[in-house]
Chain A
Amino acid sequence: MRKALLIIAFSLLAILIQVLFGPWMTIREIRPDFLLILVLFVGRSEGKVGGQLYGFIFGLIADAIGLGSFVGLSALAKTVAGFGAGLLRKRRSRLNPVLFHGLEVLIIAIHFTIIYMVNFKGIEISFQLLFLQYILPSILYTGLFYFIIQYFIPPFSE
């Protein structure tokens, strides 16, 4: 119960941070995705089921509060991210740190690849350009914040 309330409080906080600071942190249309960071934290704490359910509901709310022309896209990407983060639950001490963090970056990469591939569907842009101009900067920007936040606030107890 206490954990559920904590997650709800963090969810509201993440939305507020995204709304308040997201526009100011935008660099060439790229901004960090604090909602994804929270989904990764919850996934690592709650496992595959908790992570994907949370990613789905939180993504759907994010889509519905006015943010993006595709309702369901964040839900889709964050469900997959939540599931991926759930796979990493309790594996931090068992896996090589480089491999572990590499897998975290891979999950972030999959999330943004889904987001941008759907958004740019039907647009004449090569995957290389899409990757270099949007996906990679988004991975780096969000990943940077993910690792900084993780350093100061370890994910909810695994």
Chain B
Amino acid sequence: MWLKVIRFLIDLYEYFLLILLVIISLSILMHNESPQIRVLQGEISDVFAFVHYPRIWINELSNLMDENQELKEENLRLGLLNAQLKESYLENQRLREMLNFADSSKLTIIPAEVVNQGTTPLFNSILINVGSEQGILPNMAVITNKGIVGKTVSVGRKNTTVQIFLDVNFRLGVKFQISREYGIMRWRPNGLAEVREIPKTAVIYPGEKVLTSGYSEIYPANIQVGEVVDVRQSANNLFQIATVRPSVNINSIEEVFVVLAEN
């Protein structure tokens, strides 16, 4: 009897192995948010960071000439702009003093290069070349000069995985610049984003800028997120839903900034 059972088990060991591996995978999947898994992911991404170097070299070489030309033009433009801004800054300071305003906050940021944009068909994280050695911690905002990119999730010594706003689980507290309405932005499958639960009475304008609300411990206030494409009524007709086009094109980002602190 026992011999038959053992023989039966041996005959089907391939299937038992499959079940075991599926159970292990599911178990890891269900403990994705645990710090141990995140630390392990960070450590392994450090070990395999070398696989991303060829792409960085190729990108750097191919972009160097164009970048140099663009920087020259940008430098000239910024030089002219700087003179105007200095004037505006001084004027702003004077007006603030008159109104007794506190100093506006400044961000302490650290630059980083994008070393990988994911090898799986889904495109919901990027790897950047700064880590705990540079003071990066989980849940720090990642931005570019155009706006929000995402937040750090798993931090290795020299590399960090960033959950980007295209991730289906990404949520961001936002406000509309003109109408001053607040809401939660989430990604939609067509590459755009959506802000739901906007009161029916609010007037949201297409083309209106969408900024971070500042109510989050991760994202500083007033960082650009995108702009409104259209506004429609919800299915139950109680709320409005605004479709937002993100200001950052993830496919083309090469450098980002991690917000270490808000002074």
Contacts and interface: CB of A to CB of B under 8 A. Distances in A.
Interface string B154-172: 1000010101001111000
B163 A69 contact: yes
A63 B28 CA distance: 11
Interface string A44-56: 0000110011001
Contacts of A10: none
B251 A68 contact: no
A32 B122 CA distance: 10
B119 A73 contact: no
A23 B120 CA distance: 10
Given A70-B29, A119-B168, 18 more contacts: A12-B51, A28-B191, A49-B17, A52-B18, A60-B25, A62-B120, A66-B161, A67-B116, A68-B118, A68-B120, A68-B124, A71-B40, A75-B28, A79-B18, A86-B14, A122-B168, A123-B168, A138-B121
Contacts of A109: none
Interface in A65-109: 65-76, 79-80, 83, 86
A67 B115 CA distance: 11
A63 B118 CA distance: 9
Contacts of B21: 52-53, 56, 75, 79
A73 B29 contact: yes
B125 interface: yes
Contacts of A61: 44, 48
Interface stretch (A1-9, A13-21, A147-155): A13-21
A67 B51 contact: no
A33 B120 contact: yes
Contacts of A112: 121
Interface stretch (B52-60, B135-143, B213-221, B224-232): B52-60
Contact of A133 (B25, B26, B153, B189): B189
B32 A69 contact: yes
Given A12-B51, A76-B29, A120 B168 contact: yes
Q: How large is the interface on B (under 10, 10 to 19, 20 to 34, 35 or more residues)?
A: 35 or more
Q: Describe A's contact surface by its main secondary structure.
A: helix
Interface of B: 13-14, 17-18, 21-22, 24-29, 32, 37, 40-41, 44-45, 48, 51-52, 54-55, 58, 116-127, 153-154, 159, 161, 163, 166-169, 189, 191, 251
B15 to A, nearest CB: 8
Contacts of A16: 51, 54
A136 interface: no
Interface of A: 12, 15-16, 18-20, 22-23, 26, 28-33, 35, 48-49, 52-53, 56, 59-76, 79-80, 83, 86, 112, 115-116, 118-120, 122-123, 125, 129-130, 133-134, 138, 142
A69 B44 contact: no
A64 to B, nearest CB: 4
Contacts of B122: 29, 68, 115-116, 119
Contacts of B25: 56, 59-60, 72-73, 75-76, 79
A65 B52 CA distance: 10
Contacts of B41: 63-64, 66, 71
Nearest to B40: A64
Contacts of A80: 18, 22
Contacts of B191: 28-29
